[in-house]
Structure 1
């Protein structure tokens, strides 16, 4: 087994969840060989054509990676999360974001198939929005927004353009938490507590968390504190803040540090947002399998 490949114990839990051949047509190449090839490419950030021969033809590995964007990768991650049931047991979630700087090839405009001249899809700004690219202080970037559990393992993944404010993506990140239960009952869709930095300090977010009965540990920004002091008696009370619970926010930073070990996540080489997000999902799946092994 090479460095970064799936261990035997993790593969024994993953293999039954993968699509099986229906017997029609040519048999599929070994799933483990292909998945390890995908992980090698994500870890190294190398072009698909440079895939080592031990993983088989690179076209086969890439085709399987692209075909399973239909939700297969996401279902694998969800099944692994179900076994741990992390939302209820851990109870502390951190939110954060990763700036994925796209490579030069990923920034080139790619028209949709069948797009007519003059169509909105051909407009560079429309293409950038669709493919989660935005110009921020660091240049043309994409953002990966995560919610993680108390061990720093991803629970939800949302992609946005690099110039999108973090607070505007909070409802989408929270709604993406959906962990089915091992038995009967609705999926878990909310954590016990949300621990986030000042970028998520807004009245709208605090109201949303109160409405869903979720504890919030989010420090106020300086301008919010100054505004409340200036208004004196009409400024309201300061929101509750648990300093001890806030110490656990570093788990999301540690999660991003582990994600950045995969160079294809730290630097976006994929033109399409769906392909880039699939790579982040597979990387998150690898982190879960490592933690459970």
Structure 2
């Protein structure tokens, strides 16, 4: 095993989840190709600069695009999450947050005004203008141990509160046996950006406890209304201190240079790269 490659344990977990062709000529060794993908995302290099030990870069890129469009890495994450859930290893004290990722100039030439390609791509390819220029925002929900449960890509200018419901609805951990996938956290921790009556009502309807601090203007508005303002939302400071777990999760994901800076032109490819970077975080603890 070389630097930036999957360990034997990580490969043992991932190998059964890689689709195999039933017919056709023998293809390049799966582990070598997957290691090429990991190396590319980890080092943040272009596909053409892949070391020769991973074979032709066109082969690695073609396989990556195929896996990205088919959602192979997302399915692999769900399977390893199912194994952890069956062992009772998932902490359902879920934390949500977002981070801004600067888009490289190579990711900017997407032809965003044209039609989309792939199943998950949007016309804007999750690229938008914000104070930092052309950016993408990664919305993340992680468990209490700092492992990604769900991610959502949007343009950089999208507000966090708009995306929280779609993000939570992406949490879907299958059962190894019979039964529906688990989609409901026990508790959600978020910062002030997510503070709204609508979100609190949504979480209550789903039976999800939450710890979200109230914004100052919301507190002032409720106070000015007197009795009509209602009771202040419950806030547990001790629980809120655990919110740093999601920040540490972002820190580990951005250890991959291909995640810290977006080089992928399409949202499908970048989302697959985030899924590939998330897999080792789960594999280390399973």
Partner in structure 2 of residue 198 of structure 1: 192
- CA gap of 1:88–1:176, structure 2 versus 1, over 3 A, is farther
After TM superposition, the structure 1 = structure 2 runs for residues 74-153 of structure 1, keeping only pairs within 5 Å, are 74-85=74-85, 89-110=90-111, 121=115, 129-153=123-147
Give the C-alpha shift of residue 13 in structure 1: 2.1
Q: Secondary structure at the match of 1:184?
A: coil
How far does the alpha carbon of each residue in 1:60-119 deviate from its partner, in whole angstroms, 9 at most, with x for none? 1111100011111111111111110189841211101121110112112426xxxxxxx8
Q: Normalization by structure 1: what TM-score? A: 0.91
After TM superposition, the structure 1 = structure 2 runs for residues 65-80 of structure 1, keeping only pairs within 5 Å, are 65-69=64-68, 70-80=70-80
Kept after mapping to 2: 8 A contact 1:265/1:280: yes
Q: CA RMSD in A?
A: 1.8
Give the C-alpha shift of residue 120 in structure 1: 6.2
How far does the alpha carbon of each residue in 1:135-171 deviate from its partner, in whole angstroms, 9 at most, with x for none? 1111111101010001110000110000100000001
Distance 1:202 1:91 in 2: 22
Q: Secondary structure at the match of 1:291?
A: coil
Distance 1:25 1:184 in 2: 35
1:12 counterpart = 2:6: no
Kept after mapping to 2: 8 A contact 1:259/1:284: yes
Give the C-alpha shift of residue 232 in structure 1: 1.3
Distance 1:290 1:5 in 2: 14
Q: How many residues align?
A: 280
Q: Secondary structure at the match of 1:9?
A: helix
Q: Which moved more, 1:282-291 or 1:46-55?
A: 282-291
Partner in structure 1 of residue 169 of structure 2: 175
Q: Secondary structure at the match of 2:285?
A: helix
- CA gap of 1:18–1:128, structure 2 versus 1, over 3 A, is closer
Give the C-alpha shift of residue 184 in structure 1: 1.2
- CA gap of 1:244–1:171, structure 2 versus 1, over 3 A, is same
How far does the alpha carbon of each residue in 1:12-69 deviate from its partner, in whole angstroms, 9 at most, with x for none? 22211211231x2221211111111101000110111110111111111111100011
Give the C-alpha shift of residue 279 in structure 1: 0.5
Tell me which of 207, 210, 225 is aligned to 2:204: 210
- CA gap of 1:65–1:164, structure 2 versus 1, over 3 A, is same
Q: Secondary structure at the match of 1:130?
A: coil
Q: Which runs of 4+ in 1 moved over 3 A?
A: 86-89, 119-122
Structure 1: 5+ residue stretches without partners: 112-118
Distance 2:285 2:55 in 1: 28
Kept after mapping to 2: 8 A contact 1:192/1:215: yes
Q: Which moved more, 1:150-159 or 1:5-14?
A: 5-14
Q: Normalization by structure 2: what TM-score? A: 0.93
